[in-house]
């Protein structure tokens, strides 16, 4: 019996279980029967079934054979709407969030915490070719920084991407930034001052919370539906009650809950804010990554008054290490450009040139289509594994794009304790309270599914499912 053979057989059976060919509670083919059918030894099938048993996919029943395990979890429900206090709050996630992300990144840790795609999903070969050609032929441009607003060729490509999202802006209205994070920072600084209140989703992208904290602003969490995004009814009430200086929302395939506001809601949002003269900082970081290949419109598409400051980047599709992002800040273009020049001068020319060339080559569209399918498959596999391994009562989001999952743990699990125990087993996850200014969502974790699916990931999810049982009751009220 070769090791390769029984592992291959185990993977094949695991795939069939994933696809529902063998259903929970069903008996697998007998060892003797499968050995005869596949022309392999009985020992090979026995070893394959035992491997599946150690992965908690199947269980052996004495004198009866191997059966597909019933999912321990009924991870079918979606988490409820955020119900944190609608009250402007001073944010203080800084040290804890950075430390959590750094610990997830440490050597020897399987990083399911940071929302970064693994290199395997990125166009590494194309970039290698483009970067070495640029280094050979364009060294003079590469060594010279140019002041904002950024490389014309890239701004032209960005305008095409914006047009796909229904936004008609000219290259002159685009400012290139160091990733979407810098775009968010510059836009917030442009529209608000320290002490001002920014309405955000609940739960919100942790980097947005950190930006708000670093700028001395306050956050007002608006309840957010994991499917349709921020509640416009709750937002309308909050705007009546509080002096909100700006809103900052991820409008499509949000992080962490994977929500997408329907077009009609985006339109209503933009109109509601325009009526009050309130700017919207729109984070469209995952907008290109819908699984069904449609490109949802951005809220910016409905902006008639230049009040939407659109932000995005190449980080989730081409590579976050390039630090290439952009914003289309509407009527605030001059201010954002000024702040960009005097905060980081310019984004590295070689990175801007590489992204522009990749986008112009037509390779970007092909790559995005591949990514959409790859991320959809990853997310499906993660959800299937979570529903097998996690306890009954677990909830998990069903995103329609992107690659992050928001998992609700039953039984009074404190996700901060869960995070520590997971790290001790070499697995990085992000605890939910770091996505909240008000310290809510303590029973949630966020998982990054853009990590190539393999046995180590499957084993890690099984371990997380066990930890969810072991840490029940750790939450103190």
For ligand PLP, the binding residues (CB under 6 A) are 115, 179-181, 205, 207, 250, 255, 283, 285, 313, 315, 320, 325
Point out which residues pair with 219 in neighbouring strands.
89, 198
H helix or E strand, kind and range, residue 447: strand 444-448
Least separation, in Å, of the C-beta of 399 and ligand PLP?
12
User: Burial, 2: exposed, middle or buried (Cβ in 10 Å; 0-12, 13-18, 19+)?
Assistant: exposed
**Minimum distance of ligand PLP from residue 30's CB (angstroms):** 48
How many C-beta atoms surround the C-beta of residue 28 within 10 A?
22
The smaller minimum CB distance to ligand PLP, of residues 44 and 315, is found at 315
Q: How far is the CB of 204 from ligand PLP (least distance, A)?
A: 9
Give yes or no for a contact between 159 and 374, defined as CB atoms under 8 angstroms apart: no
User: What six digits make up the tokens of 143?
Assistant: 């060594």
The pair of structure tokens assigned to 142 is 């590469």
Nearer to ligand PLP, 115 or 209 (CB): 115
Nearer to ligand PLP, 347 or 443 (CB): 347
Secondary structure of residue 60 in the 3-state scheme: strand
Residues 6+ apart with CB under 8 A from 86: 220, 221, 222, 223, 234, 237, 238, 241
Q: Which is nearer to ligand PLP, 255 or 471 (CB)?
A: 255
52 or 191, CB closer to ligand PLP?
Answer: 191
Question: Tokens 């059918």 appear where?
Answer: 37
CB atoms closer than 10 angstroms to residue 129: 14
Kindly report whether the peptide bond that precedes residue 425 is cis, defined as omega within 30 degrees of 0: no
Q: In the structure, how many helices (H) and strands (E) does the chain have?
A: 16, 17
In angstroms, give the least distance from the CB of 114 to ligand PLP: 7
- Least CB distance from residue 207 to ligand PLP, whole Å? 5
* Closer to ligand PLP by Cβ: residue 253 or 394: 253
CB of 404 to ligand PLP, least distance (A): 8
Q: What minimum distance in Å lies between the beta carbon of 144 and ligand PLP? A: 24
Question: Considering beta carbons, is residue 225 or 414 the nearer one to ligand PLP?
Answer: 225
Name the residue whose CB lies closest to ligand PLP.
179
Cβ 281 to ligand PLP shortest distance, Å: 11
From 205, 438, 170, select the one nearest 330 (Cα to Cα).
170
DSSP label at 253?
Answer: S
The tokens of 13 are what? 């059976």
- Rank residues 207 and 431 by Cβ distance to ligand PLP and give the closer one: 207
Strand intervals (E) in 3-161:
58-61, 65-68, 89-90, 110-111
Q: Which is nearer to ligand PLP, 287 or 410 (CB)?
A: 287
CA torsion through residues 407, 411, 412, 414, sign:
negative
Residue 3 backbone class (left: φ over 0; alpha: ψ -120 to 50; beta: rest): alpha
Task: Report the nearest approach of ligand PLP to the CB of residue 311 (Å).
Answer: 7
């Amino acid at each position: 019996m070769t090791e390769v053979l029984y592992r291959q057989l185990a993977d094949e059976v695991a795939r069939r279980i994933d696809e529902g060919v063998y259903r929970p509670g069903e008996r697998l083919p007998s060892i003797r029967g499968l050995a005869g059918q596949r022309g392999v030894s009985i020992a090979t099938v026995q070893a394959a079934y035992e491997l599946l048993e150690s992965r908690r996919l199947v269980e052996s029943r004495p004198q009866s054979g191997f059966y597909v395990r019933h999912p321990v979890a009924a991870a079918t429900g979606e988490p409820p709407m955020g119900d944190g206090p609608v009250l402007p709050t001073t944010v203080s996630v800084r040290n804890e969030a950075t430390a959590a992300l750094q610990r997830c990144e440490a050597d020897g840790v399987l990083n399911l915490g940071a929302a970064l795609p693994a290199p395997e999903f990125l166009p590494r070969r194309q970039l290698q070719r483009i970067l070495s050609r640029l280094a050979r032929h364009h060294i003079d441009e590469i060594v010279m920084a140019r002041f904002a607003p950024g490389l014309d060729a890239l701004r032209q490509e960005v305008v095409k991407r914006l047009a796909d999202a229904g936004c008609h802006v000219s290259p002159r209205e685009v400012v290139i930034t160091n990733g979407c994070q810098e775009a968010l920072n510059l836009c917030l600084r442009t529209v608000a001052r320290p002490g001002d209140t920014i309405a955000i989703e609940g739960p919100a992208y942790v980097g947005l919370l950190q930006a708000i904290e670093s700028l001395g602003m306050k956050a007002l969490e608006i309840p957010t539906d994991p499917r349709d995004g921020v509640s416009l009814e709750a937002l309308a009430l909050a705007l009546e009650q509080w002096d909100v200086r700006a809103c900052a929302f991820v409008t499509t395939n949000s992080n962490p809950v994977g929500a997408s506001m329907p077009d009609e809601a985006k339109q209503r949002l933009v109109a509601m804010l325009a009526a009050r003269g309130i700017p919207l900082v729109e984070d469209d970081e995952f907008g290109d990554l819908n699984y069904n290949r449609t490109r949802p419109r951005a809220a910016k598409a409905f902006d008639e008054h230049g009040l939407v400051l659109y932000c995005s980047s190449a980080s989730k599709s081409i590579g976050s290490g390039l630090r290439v992002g952009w914003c289309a800040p509407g009527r605030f273009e001059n201010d954002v450009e000024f702040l960009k020049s005097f905060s980081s001068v310019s984004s590295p020319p070689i990175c801007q040139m590489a992204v522009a060339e990749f986008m112009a080559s037509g390779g970007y569209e092909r790559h995005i289509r591949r990514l959409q399918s790859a991320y959809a498959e990853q997310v499906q596999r993660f959800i299937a594994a979570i529903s097998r391994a996690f306890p009954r009562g677990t909830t998990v989001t069903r995103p329609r794009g992107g690659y992050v999952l928001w998992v609700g743990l039953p039984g009074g699990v404190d996700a901060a304790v869960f995070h520590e125990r997971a790290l001790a087993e070499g697995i990085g996850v992000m605890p939910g309270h770091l996505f909240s200014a008000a310290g809510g969502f303590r029973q949630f974790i966020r998982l990054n599914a853009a990590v190539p699916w393999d046995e180590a990931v499957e084993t890690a999810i099984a371990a997380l499912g066990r930890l969810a049982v072991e840490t029940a009751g750790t939450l103190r009220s």
